[in-house]
């Protein structure tokens, strides 16, 4: 203790004035980084264990530290721990409490370490755990989609391009398109996890430390797959956060697209589906209303995560090596991205099984809009017509339908033969929506048989 020490900060030796109250409120992070507490303690236990093993700490000191940290962890979990903004962040709150509890040995915990490598370690530990939790909800949602796709393998609906009726598809096929999107998301998360799962500890402030540390031991104790191999990069890198939020943003983009479709399909104009009451809300003024608010909120929350991605990219842009306090701004966007994507996936996984399909309406709608015109052209091609000529002949037939307000299947054989004399009675097989979807019977096609195969492959994938 020097006599000009001004407060309880660890750096009080260097300072002669205490911190301005506004600055204390401005710089503190404990109000949000206390979420790292469990990981901070795990990191400190590993660090102390390693220091004990290389002889920097005595066995007694090590044991006192580990035991003290455990009791602090228990108190935090029980809500008995007092957090102080004066102590700035989660790291100093815990370290200070440790010294209060165990005395002198507590002051040795920070040997060979800095908050710079400490915080990077904590965030990686937290994110690794959250990625694993996310992977589970993502799987639950993908399961719900597969179940629905199996149920609706034969259901015919209109497929759209430009939001105009294009060709009939099966609803099961449409759902399996969602499954593909989310499958890539799962792969992406697994890839990000590999880069998250590397140990920064040992980098100390930026240059490494002069103590004979054993980084590999720390990595092993904490379950990291490897080390951050350059101390300067280790303390400054936040790529792993950016990669994660980028993956999270893409998940949200996918969910927003699914939401948009559910919202459209539930409108009176489409009237394709209904969602369970438990996942809808009413109107305070219009008694008849049932609104798909959950889907709308997911669509809206997508904006937050895209915003967080932008925030992190800009936080890092132009930052010189190594640690800068800017990096403290990584936490709130990261935490909110995690929470938002997790909640959105969970609510979607619960909502989808409540989806009721109005199959007749879907089929009726698929029959409109001359959706089997391509099938008629393909029919002509199979009978020897060049595709461009077939395209033109069918175009004339569609024109007649528009003028006489009929569908292609409602034209008589004689009328059809005026556009091409090679048309025969079997043409009506391809003009039905069922015939149209059944004909697209190859890997990736919309035929009910292919949907069933896709469902089978999906189930196998979800088992691994």
The residues binding ligand ARG (CB under 6 A) are 29, 33, 89, 115-116, 119, 323, 325, 327-328
Q: Output 34 or 99, the one with its CB closest to ligand ARG.
A: 34
Q: Is 382 exposed, middle or buried (0-12, 13-18, 19+ CB in 10 A)?
A: exposed
Q: Output 82 or 325, the one with its CB closest to ligand ARG.
A: 325
DSSP H or E stretch at residue 333? helix 331-351
Question: Among 31, 84, 267, 283, which one carries the catalytic annotation?
Answer: 283
Phi, psi angles (nearest 5°) of residue 428? -70, -20
Q: Is 119 exposed, middle or buried (0-12, 13-18, 19+ CB in 10 A)?
A: buried
Find the shortest distance in angstroms from Cβ 334 to ligand ARG.
Answer: 11
Neighbours of 52 (CB within 10 A): 18
DSSP H or E stretch at residue 142? helix 115-151
Q: Output 87 or 131, the one with its CB closest to ligand ARG.
A: 87
Neighbours of 232 (CB within 10 A): 16
Considering just the CA atoms, what is the radius of gyration of the chain in Å? 31
Q: Output 29 or 121, the one with its CB closest to ligand ARG.
A: 29
| C-beta of residue 227 within 8 angstroms of C-beta of residue 219 | yes
The residue among 461, 359, 396 whose CA lies nearest residue 142 is 461
162 flagged as catalytic? yes
Question: Among 162, 210, 284, 412, which one carries the catalytic annotation?
Answer: 162
Can you tell me whether residue 214 is helix, strand or coil? coil
Query: To which residue do tokens 């209904």 refer?
Result: 274
Find the shortest distance in angstroms from Cβ 39 to ligand ARG.
Answer: 13
391 flagged as catalytic? no
Find the shortest distance in angstroms from Cβ 228 to ligand ARG.
Answer: 15
Find the shortest distance in angstroms from Cβ 30 to ligand ARG.
Answer: 9
Q: How far apart are CA 218 and CA 383, in angstroms?
A: 72
Residues 184, 187, 190, CA angle at the centre, nearest 5°? 150
- Whether cis (ω within 30° of 0) applies to the bond prior to 251 is no
Q: How far apart are CA 105 and CA 90, in angstroms?
A: 19
Can you tell me whether residue 164 is helix, strand or coil? strand
Find the shortest distance in angstroms from Cβ 204 to ligand ARG.
Answer: 11
Q: Output 41 or 275, the one with its CB closest to ligand ARG.
A: 41
Q: How far apart are CA 6 and CA 4, in angstroms?
A: 6
Q: How far is CA 233 from CA 202, 226, 237, 240, 463, in A?
A: 12, 14, 5, 12, 38
Find the shortest distance in angstroms from Cβ 107 to ligand ARG.
Answer: 18
Q: Output 31 or 356, the one with its CB closest to ligand ARG.
A: 31
Strand runs (DSSP E) across 181-282, as ranges? 198-199, 226-227, 273-274
Q: Output 303 or 313, the one with its CB closest to ligand ARG.
A: 313
Q: Output 316 or 376, the one with its CB closest to ligand ARG.
A: 316
Find the shortest distance in angstroms from Cβ 46 to ligand ARG.
Answer: 18
Can you tell me whether residue 322 is helix, strand or coil? coil
Q: How far apart are CA 336 and CA 304, in angstroms?
A: 8
Find the shortest distance in angstroms from Cβ 92 to ligand ARG.
Answer: 8
Q: How far apart are CA 412 and CA 21, in angstroms?
A: 86
Positions marked active-site: 162, 283
């Amino acid at each position: 203790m020097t006599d000009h020490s001004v407060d309880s900060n660890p750096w009080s030796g260097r300072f002669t004035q205490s911190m301005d109250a506004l600055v204390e409120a401005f710089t503190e992070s404990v109000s949000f980084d206390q979420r790292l507490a469990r990981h901070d303690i795990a990191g400190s236990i590993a660090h102390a264990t390693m220091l004990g093993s290389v002889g920097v700490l005595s066995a007694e000191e090590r044991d006192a530290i580990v035991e003290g940290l455990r009791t602090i962890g228990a108190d935090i979990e029980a809500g008995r721990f007092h957090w102080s903004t004066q102590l700035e962040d989660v790291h100093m709150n815990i370290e200070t409490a440790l010294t209060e509890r165990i005395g002198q040995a507590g002051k040795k915990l920070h040997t060979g370490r800095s908050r710079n490598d400490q915080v990077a370690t904590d965030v990686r530990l937290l994110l690794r755990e959250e990625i694993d939790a996310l992977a589970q909800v993502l799987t639950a949602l993908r399961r719900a989609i597969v179940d629905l796709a199996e149920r609706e393998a034969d259901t015919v609906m209109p497929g759209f391009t430009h939001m105009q009726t294009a060709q009939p598809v099966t609803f099961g096929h449409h759902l399996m398109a969602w499954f593909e999107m989310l499958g890539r998301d799962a792969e992406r998360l697994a890839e990000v996890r590999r880069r998250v799962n590397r140990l920064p500890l040992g980098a100390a402030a930026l240059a490494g430390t002069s103590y004979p540390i054993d980084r590999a031991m720390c990595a092993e104790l904490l379950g990291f797959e490897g080390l951050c191999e350059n101390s300067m990069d280790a303390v400054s890198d936040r790529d792993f956060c950016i990669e994660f939020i980028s993956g999270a943003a893409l998940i949200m983009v996918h969910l927003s697209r699914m939401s948009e479709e559910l919202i459209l399909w539930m409108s009176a104009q489409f009237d394709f589906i209904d969602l369970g009451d438990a996942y809808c809300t009413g109107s305070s003024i219009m008694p008849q209303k049932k609104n798909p608010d959950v889907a709308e909120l997911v669509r809206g929350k997508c904006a937050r995560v895209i915003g967080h991605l932008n925030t992190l990219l800009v936080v890092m842009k132009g930052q010189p090596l190594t640690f800068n306090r800017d990096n403290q701004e990584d936490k709130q966007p990261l935490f909110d991205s995690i929470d938002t994507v997790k909640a959105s996936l969970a609510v979607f996984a619960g909502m989808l099984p409540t989806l009721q399909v109005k199959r007749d309406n879907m089929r009726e709608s698929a029959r409109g809009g001359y959706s089997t015109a391509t099938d008629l052209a393909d029919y002509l091609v199979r009978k020897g017509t060049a595709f461009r000529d077939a395209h033109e002949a069918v175009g004339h037939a569609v024109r007649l339908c528009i003028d006489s307000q009929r569908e292609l299947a409602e034209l008589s054989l004689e009328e059809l033969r005026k556009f091409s004399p090679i048309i025969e009675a079997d043409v009506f097989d391809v003009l039905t929506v069922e015939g149209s979807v059944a004909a697209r019977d190859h890997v990736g096609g919309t035929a009910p048989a292919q949907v069933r195969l896709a469902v089978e492959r999906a189930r196998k994938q979800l088992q691994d």
